[in-house]
């Protein structure tokens, strides 16, 4: 993976309870700001950022180096200086989104979070890396997959860094679901393959039956239902925005034959793939020019 940041650009994507900001920028000073959300700052490549913030009556300063992340509490005033061309991601979580997401972890809805301004955290970096191709390469990613990653991030923050009354790690509470991130990543990357529950359970580190229970509790769908919904979402994307044949889309989405694909597509959408494509308002494009799908800007339900 190259350490050279992409051309200068910035984008903000807002969703129900959270937003994601991506920036590839020249050296710059960001003015002091204060957010109502919890902010997670993740630099990429060789990015080095100088972060200043107010603590009581004193101004504090920390150098955020590559491989580190920053957790900034809500209402914390702070400023950022970038001395070199930089690439970074900011994830903003509404406090109520955190409470809704972590209700199985929290014994009480009351919690607080202190700042961590130069922190090594592989879980946070892993989630950011999973989101990065969607931002930098315009890769297709479903609303459900993206939101699940952000929810796992919220659970991780509360479980590891919050001052709160939480369910102990290792119990049947929601803390364990933070381990689902690599499973979701595997499903997303290998959606065209024969995904087996036993293999997903091995990634998670439990038996298939235990994994299926944990997955459904966390995601709201069984592993089979989730995989099928992701395949249908990808098929809708390819039908709307590429000129791939139905046979090719069948293979790209991991269905074992075209008849099975058509049956499942009709069950989910109420129509056939051909009719769905004809009704799409977006004209078919070359498969190499697929951008961020319009549904990425809608709320996840």
> pLDDT by residue (tens digit) across 126-164?
889 888 877 776 665 667 778 888 988 888 888 888 876
**Mean pLDDT of all residues belonging to the chain:** 80
Give domain 173-280's CATH number out of 3.20.20.70, 3.40.718.10, 3.40.50.1100, 1.10.10.60: 1.10.10.60
Helix-helix angle 181-189:143-161, to 10 degrees:
160
Question: With contact defined as beta carbons under 8 Å apart, do 186 and 132 qualify?
Answer: no
> Where are the chain's structural domains?
10-163, 173-280
Q: Tell me the per-residue pLDDT of 196-207, one tens digit each, with 9 for 90 and over.
A: 999 999 998 889
- What per-residue confidence (pLDDT) applies to 164? 65
Q: What CATH class does 10-163 carry? A: mainly beta
> Which of 292, 297, 301, 298 lies closest to 240, judged by CA?
292
Question: CA of 3: how far to CAs of 41, 66, 85, in Å?
Answer: 18, 10, 11
pLDDT at residue 297 tops 50: no
**Residue 263 host element (H or E):** helix 258-269
Percentage with pLDDT > 90 across the chain: 28
Q: Is the pLDDT of residue 108 over 70?
A: no
Give per-residue pLDDT as tens, 182-236.
Answer: 888 888 889 999 999 999 999 988 899 999 988 887 777 899 999 999 899 889 9
């Amino acid at each position: 993976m190259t350490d050279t940041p992409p051309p200068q650009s910035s984008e903000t994507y807002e969703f129900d309870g959270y937003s994601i900001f991506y920036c590839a920028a020249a050296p710059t000073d960001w003015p002091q700001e204060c957010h109502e959300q919890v902010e997670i700052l993740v630099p990429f490549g060789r990015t080095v950022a100088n972060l200043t913030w107010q603590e009581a009556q004193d101004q504090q300063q920390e150098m955020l180096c590559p491989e580190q992340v920053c957790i900034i509490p809500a209402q914390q005033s702070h400023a950022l200086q970038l001395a070199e061309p930089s690439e970074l991601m900011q994830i903003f979580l509404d406090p109520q989104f955190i409470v809704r997401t972590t209700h199985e972890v929290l014994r009480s809805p009351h919690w607080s979070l202190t700042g961590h301004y130069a922190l090594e955290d592989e879980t946070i970096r892993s989630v950011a890396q999973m989101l990065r191709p969607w931002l930098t390469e315009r890769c297709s990613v479903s609303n459900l997959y993206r939101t699940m990653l952000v929810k796992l991030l919220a659970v991780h923050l509360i479980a590891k860094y919050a001052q709160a009354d939480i369910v102990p790690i290792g119990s049947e509470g929601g803390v364990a679901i933070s381990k689902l991130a690599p499973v979701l990543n595997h499903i997303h990357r290998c959606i065209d393959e024969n995904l087996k529950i036993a293999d997903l359970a091995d990634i998670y580190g439990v038996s298939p039956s235990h994994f299926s229970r944990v997955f459904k509790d966390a995601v709201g769908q069984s592993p089979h239902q989730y995989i099928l919904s992701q395949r249908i979402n990808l098929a809708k994307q390819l039908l709307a925005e590429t000129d791939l044949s139905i046979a090719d889309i069948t293979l790209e989405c991991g269905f074992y034959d075209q008849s099975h694909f058509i049956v499942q597509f009709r069950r989910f959408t109420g129509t056939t793939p051909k009719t769905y494509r004809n009704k799409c308002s977006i004209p078919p494009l070359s498969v190499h020019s697929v951008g961020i799908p319009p549904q990425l800007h809608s709320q996840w339900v």
